[in-house]
Chains A and B, each alone.
With several copies, the nearest count.
Chain A
Amino acid sequence: MTGGEASPGAPTPSDDSAASVAPEVPTGSDGPVASATSEGPAASAAASEGSAVPPALAEWTKSDRQIRREADLRRRARRSTSVATASTIVVATVLIVGVTASPGWPRVQETFFSPSQFVDAFPDVWRGFLLNVKIFLIAEPLILIVGLVVALVRTLRSPVFFPLRAVAVFYTDIFRGIPTILLIYLFGFGIPALALQGAPSDPVTLGIIGLVLSYGAYVAEVFRSGIESVHPSQRAAARSLALSHGQTMRYVVVPQAARRVIPPLLNDFVSLQKDTALVAVLGPLEALRQASIHAAETFNYTPYMCAALVFIALTVPMARLTDHLAARTARRQMAGGHL
């Protein structure tokens, strides 16, 4: 980690003093190879990728023309923005008034947005939600492992591994095709029914098995597409260094794939977070179940709003994070980087 701290091309304060209309460029000396400090053409070339020389903004004084132009621009922007804002507000108001003035609104308000019901239900829903979170936290790493292993099996190209690959393909196809809730049913009531020694019978465990197998199939596909999106030249470069297939995967392909699949993976995790609610069919009292118990008791839907809220509180930040990472990845790929 020596040197390289001052990123070439970025202007530094000390440059300002030296800057002139025609700033100084280190002129090409001997070859870059000979010079141990990597100055000379190589360094200047690197710098010129940013811009020939860091030019400071200091010397630029806005012309009158530009000042007038910007004032003009601001005026125009202000005008159209206010038109847009006004129209949006009008539309929103019409919508809200339309809904609240409807004959059924008081009933709806009472049935869906009753503060007292909300307060009543919240503690139970919250307690249930902690179970959702627990299921999620246990299932997530298992899903990652299953997904990665299956994806790696599917990358094996040699005919020797055909049977293994066939199993992996079969698994991903079938388990992606069946509604998750059905899988949870099947495992939740099927495994205990086998009455096997040592087989789990706890519904939460069984539900997690169902979720892991269902989402594992999805995540395997995500990983696989990530692995395949790594440019083949990277694999060739690794193999040409005499790394084995396993080493190439481990050190070169998977680390790069992992970064690329983070956004779709997080997407799947947002869904998983919501699908933890499906474990309810096996009996556990998670958030949605708690909400439905309250709703059935009082014939009021507010507890569902309560559940929606706790879910949103977790999934929205996660979705935003996903978007952010996806945008960053996209920007990176645009920048290209690779020679």
Chain B
Amino acid sequence: APANDTSTASPGGASPAASATCAKDQLPLTTPGKLTIGTDKPAFEPWFKNDDPSNGQGFESAVAYAVAQKLGFTKDEVTWAVVPFDSSFAPGPKKFDFDVNQISISPERQKAVDFSQGYYAVKQAVVALDGSKFAGATTLAELKDAKIGVQAGTTSLQAVQRVIQPTSDPSVYNQQIDAISALKNKQIDAIVVDLPTGFYVTAAQVENSKIVGQFAATGETPEEFGLLLQKGSGLTSCVDKAVGDLKASGELATIETQWLTGSAGAPELK
């Protein structure tokens, strides 16, 4: 996952400037009549399937279409735009109506962009090769001396720095493939990714690897992914409401169980 983030976040920090109605024809869209949704390329499993966000498969693709439906758009009225993580938060006009890219909500980020309320509460997990030195770790303290790799632009890095506080600087890679190559090459001892990605990595990407464990919730507010919108966007309240409705109706939970493995089987690291 290119930009899956965790950090303390207040869920649903929606803009108060909510437009009165969320009628489809009154929404201020980038392209009239179309809902443009952004995500990075490639789009990773389990969030998307086959690097094709428009197939409705994968967790985030399904969520995006569910939100679109709530806003009154048919599948045909949804278009996808490639938005690299770095440019998703660039100031200025956006080429998407909202961006779904495993972006964690944080107060700092909310100064720059709008978020919907969270659609997924994420936890970080540690992945190591079977039989490696740190594969049997059960506590965070045991991981202190590990050389840990993370992906740039994710909040896994902050999690590592705050929770594990390793003795040596973590390695930060542009892409997950690089982190995984380094793991395979034994240049690093473990990688930290969000839990769904972790499951996917161990199941499909790295043979003989295992999830060492997941981080315990850090106390305060849980880390959540939110949909990203232009700062002050007129869509924010509607999108936020749509997510809220999905949550309330249990639809979101259904999508989650369909596409994401549960957190069972990943012991919590103390």
B-binding residues in A (CB < 8 A): 104, 107-108, 110-111, 185, 188-189, 191-195, 201-203, 280-285, 289, 292-293, 295-301
B188: which A residues are within 8 A, CB to CB?
283
Provided the pairs A104-B92, A283-B171, A299-B112 are in contact, do residues A189 and B42 lie with their beta carbons within 8 angstroms? no
List, in ascending order, chain B residues with CB within 8 A of A299's CB: 89, 108-109, 111-113, 177, 180-181, 205
* Given A283-B173, A293-B41, A297-B158, A111 and B91 contact (CB-CB distance below 8 Å): yes
A189 contacts B112, C-beta separation under 8 Å: no
Looking at the assembled complex, report how far the CB atom of A89 sits from the nearest CB atom of chain B, in whole angstroms. 30
Interface contact B152-A192, CB-CB below 8 Å: no
Closest chain A residue to B110 by CB distance? Answer: A299
- A293 pairs with B172, CB closer than 8 A: yes
- What are some 30 contacts across the A-B interface (CB < 8 A)? A110-B111, A189-B182, A189-B185, A192-B90, A192-B182, A193-B91, A193-B92, A193-B185, A201-B185, A203-B171, A203-B182, A203-B187, A280-B174, A282-B178, A283-B82, A283-B172, A285-B41, A292-B86, A292-B152, A292-B175, A293-B157, A293-B172, A295-B175, A296-B5, A296-B153, A296-B154, A297-B51, A298-B111, A299-B205, A300-B112
Q: A281 CA to B5 CA in the complex, in Å?
A: 20
Chain A residues within an 8 Å CB radius of B186? 192, 201
Q: Assess whether A296 is in contact with B185, with CB atoms less than 8 Å apart.
A: no
On whether the beta carbons of B172 and A296 are closer than 8 Å, the reply is: no
Given A194-B92, A295-B177, are A280 and B205 also a contact pair (CB < 8 Å)?
Answer: no
Closest 9 CB pairs of A and B: A283-B171, A192-B92, A193-B91, A299-B112, A192-B185, A193-B92, A189-B90, A299-B89, A299-B109
In chain B, residues 36-93, which have Cβ atoms closer than 8 Å to a Cβ of chain A?
41-42, 44, 51, 82-87, 89-93
- Measured CB to CB, the residues of B under 8 A from A are 3, 5, 7, 41-42, 44, 51, 82-87, 89-93, 106, 108-109, 111-113, 149, 152-155, 157-158, 169-178, 180-182, 184-188, 205, 231
Interface residue from A185, A189, A289, A297 paired with B92 (Cβ < 8 Å): A189
In the assembled complex, the Cα of A193 lies from the Cα of B182 at a distance in Å of 9
Q: Which residue of A lies closest to B106 (CB)?
A: A297
Are A189's CB and B152's CB within 8 A?
no
| Alpha-carbon distance A185/B109, docked complex (angstroms) | 19
Given contacts A293-B42, A297-B109, A299-B177, 10 further A-B contacts (CB under 8 A): A188-B87, A189-B182, A192-B91, A193-B184, A203-B187, A282-B87, A283-B188, A289-B152, A296-B175, A300-B108
Q: Decide: A283 near B93, CB < 8 A? Known: A189-B87, A299-B180.
A: no
Cα A282 to Cα B185 with chains together (Å): 12
Alpha-carbon separation in the docked complex, A169 to B4 (Å): 44
Q: Which B residues touch A203, using CB under 8 A?
A: 87, 171, 182, 187
Chain A residues closer than 8 Å to B187, beta-carbon distance: 192, 201-203, 283
Contacts of B182 in A (CB 8 A): 189, 192, 203, 282-283
Instruction: Give the shortest distance, in Å, between B239 (CB) and chain A (any CB).
Output: 18
- Cα–Cα distance between A97 and B181 once the two chains are bound (Å): 24
Q: Give the CA-CA distance A133 to B174 in the complex, in Å.
A: 21
- Report the minimum CB–CB distance from A197 to chain B (whole Å): 12
A264 to chain B, nearest CB (A): 31
Closest B residue to A294 by beta carbon equals B42
In the bound complex, do residue A283 and residue B109 qualify as a contact, i.e. CB atoms below 8 Å apart? Answer: no
CB atoms of A281 and B84 under 8 A apart: yes
CB distance from A280 to the nearest CB of B (A): 7
Q: How far apart sit A11 and B93, CA to CA, in the bound complex (Å)? A: 70
Dominant SS among interface residues on chain A: helix
Chain A residues contacting B112 (CB-CB under 8 Å) are 111, 298-300
Bound CA–CA A59/B231 (angstroms):
77
Residues of B within 8 A of A108 (CB): 91
**Is A201 a contact partner of B93 (Cβ separation < 8 A)?**
yes
Tell me the bound Cα distance from A283 to B108 in angstroms. Answer: 24
Contact A296 B91 (CB under 8 A): no
In Å, the complex CA distance between A296 and B170 comes to 16
Q: Is the CB of B169 within 8 A of A104?
A: no
Nearest CB of chain A from residue B149's CB, rounded to whole Å? 6
Residues of A within 8 A of B181 (CB): 111, 189, 193, 299, 301
Assuming A192-B186, A292-B153, is B42 touching A297 (CB within 8 A)? yes
Q: Tell me the nearest residue of chain A to B185, going by C-beta.
A: A192
**With A107-B91, A283-B87: A296-B152 Cβ-Cβ less than 8 Å:** yes
A192–B176 touching, CB < 8 Å: no
A46 and B188 alpha carbons, distance in the complex (Å): 70
Please indicate the chain B residues that have their CB under 8 angstroms from the CB of A283 in the complex. Answer: 82-84, 87, 149, 171-173, 178, 182, 187-188
Bound Cα distance from A297 to B173, whole angstroms: 15
Q: Tell me the bound Cα distance from A282 to B40 in angstroms.
A: 12
- Measured in the bound complex, the distance between the Cα atoms of B231 and A108 in whole Å is 13
A225 smallest CB distance to B (angstroms) = 35
A193-B86 Cα distance, complex, nearest whole Å:
14
Contacting residues, chain B, for A289 (C-beta < 8 A): 152, 172
Contacts of B90 in A (CB 8 A): 111, 188-189, 192-193, 301
Query: Are B180 and A195 closer than 8 Å at their CB atoms?
Result: no
Task: Output the residue of B42, B84, B177, B231 with the most chain A CB within 10 A.
Answer: B177
B55 CB to closest chain A CB (Å) equals 15
Q: In the docked arrangement, what's the CA distance between A106 and B176, Å?
A: 22
